[in-house]
Amino acid sequence: MSQSDEQSGLGPRRLAWMAVTETLKRRVPLDDVMEELARAENLSARDEALARAIAIVTFRRLGTLGRALRERLNKAPKDERLMHLLATGAAQILYLDVPDHAAVDSAVQLAQNDPKLHHAGGFINAVLRRVAREREAILAEDDPWLDTPTWLEERWIAQYGEPQAQKIVEAHRSLASVDVTVKNDAESWAERLGGVLLPTGSIRLKERTAIRELPGFEEGEWWVQDAAAALPARLLDPKPGERIADLCAAPGGKTAQLAAAGAEVLAVDRSAKRLVRLEENLARLKLKAETRAIDAEKLDAGPFDAILLDAPCSATGTIRRHPDVAWTKGDEDIRKLAGLQSRLLDKAASLLKPGGRLVYCTCSLEAEEGERQAESFLARHPDFTRVPVTAGEIGGFTECITPQGDVRTLPSQMALAGHDRSGLDGFFVARFVHRPS
C-alpha cells in the first residue's frame, strides 16, 4: 500500500470492496478471502480491522443496502463490482462511525483508480451523497427480513414458525458476543475479566477489547469459544485417561476442552494448515493432544472410549459473526453436506468401543444437518441409543433442550438484560451411546 493510500484511507476500503466482490463471486468464506487479500495489501492491524468491519456490516445489511441503492438508481449498473463498491460505501454511511465525506470520497477515488470504473466517479459521488442525505428515511424503513435471503427465510419459517424465525433474523443483525472457556475456576475468572458467568459455564465479556491484552491470555488460562460451541465437549463428559477422538477438530476449542479434562485426545482434521493453528493454540494453553491431518472418513485408529464429531456443515448457525454465510450458501450445499455428515457419523460409530459415547454436533440451524440427521443415524444403527441431555448438565438452560433430549440453540436465546451482546451461535447437539445387543 502506498503512503498516499494510507493517508487517504483507500487501503482498507479497497480491501473491503475486493473481499465482498470475491466472496460473492467465488462463494467462499469471507475470512479466507480477507486473509488471502490482506497479504497483498500490507495493511496495519488497525486498517485491516476497518476493512473487516466494512465487509462484515456490508454482508450483515446486504439486502437493506441493495434496496436503498436500487431505489436511488434510475437503472442498476451491470458491473457487479460497481454495485459492491456502492454497497461498501453505503454501509459506512449508514452503519459505521465513519465521516460521510470519507466514505464518499474514497469510493470515488477507488473507482477512478480502476481501469474499468474510472468513468463512474461522478455517478458514485451522486448516489452516495444521496444516501447520506436520506439516511434517516432509509433507516426508518428498516425490515430485518430484507437481510435474509429468501431460501433461508422459507426454511426457518417452515422449521421454527414465523415468530421464532423473526427473532432469529433480528438476532443476526446484532454484534456477536465474545465468550471464553476457562480451564478452571470460572467464577473467579469472570470477575477478573469483567465478564458475565453464563449458566452453561462460559464467560461472556462485557466489552469488546484486545483479546491478547486481557489477563490470563498469555498464561494460557482460557480461550475464545462461543457459549454454544462449548456445549458438545461438556456433554461428552470426558474423563481423565480416556482415549477420545475429536473429528474435524480445527480450530481446536473442543480439543482444548477435552485435553483440559485429562483425556488422551486425537485431533483429526483434513486441513494441515488448520491443524497448525490448533497446535499453536494448544501450545499457548499448555495442553497436549495428538494431531493427524487426514480425512476423518479414512481414519483407522480405534477403538475409542468417546468421539466428538463436529461435522462440516452449512454454518447457518454462525451468521451473527459470519454474515457472508447467508449469501454464499444454498439448498444444494446443505444436501451435499448432509450426505457427508451421515458418512462421518457411520465412520465414528465404527471407531467406538462397546459402551462408548458419541456426541454429534453442527453449527447449523437446518434440520437436515441436525434433528433429521440424528433420527436417521439411530435408524441405521440399532446398537446405538440416544442419551437425553438434562437441565442440570447445562445450568438449567432448558429452552435449548428439544423434546427428544437433544440440544438446539438459537441466536435469539441466552438474552442478557442490559447486555448489548446477547445471543449465541445456532448449534445442534445429539448424544449417543454404543450398546451392542
∠ CA(194), CA(198), CA(204), 5° rounding? 40
Phi first, then psi: what are they for 224, rounded to 5°?
Answer: -75, 130
243 neighbors 305 (Cβ within 8 angstroms): yes
Write the CB contacts of 55 (distance below 8 Å, at least 6 apart in sequence): 15, 16, 19, 20, 23, 30, 34, 88, 324
Phi first, then psi: what are they for 240, rounded to 5°?
Answer: -55, 135
Q: Is 363 considered catalytic here?
A: yes
Neighbour count for residue 141 (Cβ, 10 Å):
12
Residue tagged active-site, from 313, 361, 363, 400 = 363
102 neighbors 9 (Cβ within 8 angstroms): yes
Name the packing angle between helices 45-60 and 10-26 (round to 10°). 40
Rg (Cα) of the chain, in Å, rounded?
Answer: 23
Q: How far apart are CA 174 and CA 292, in angstroms?
A: 37
Classify residue 166 as exposed, middle or buried by CB count within 10 Å of its CB (0-12, 13-18, 19+): middle
Q: How far apart are CA 373 and CA 111, in angstroms?
A: 48
Q: How far apart are CA 328 and CA 319, in angstroms?
A: 11
Instruction: Write the DSSP symbol of residue 209.
Output: -
Q: How far apart are CA 271 and CA 422, in angstroms?
A: 32
Q: By C-alpha distance, which of 122, 76, 22 is closest to 14?
A: 22
Phi first, then psi: what are they for 180, rounded to 5°?
Answer: -130, 150
Cis? peptide before 144, omega within 30° of 0 = no
259 neighbors 282 (Cβ within 8 angstroms): yes
Grid coordinates belonging to 237:
463428559
Write the CB contacts of 184 (distance below 8 Å, at least 6 apart in sequence): none
Q: What's the maximum distance between 2 C-alpha atoms anywhere in the chain? A: 75
165 neighbors 344 (Cβ within 8 angstroms): no
Catalytic residues: 363
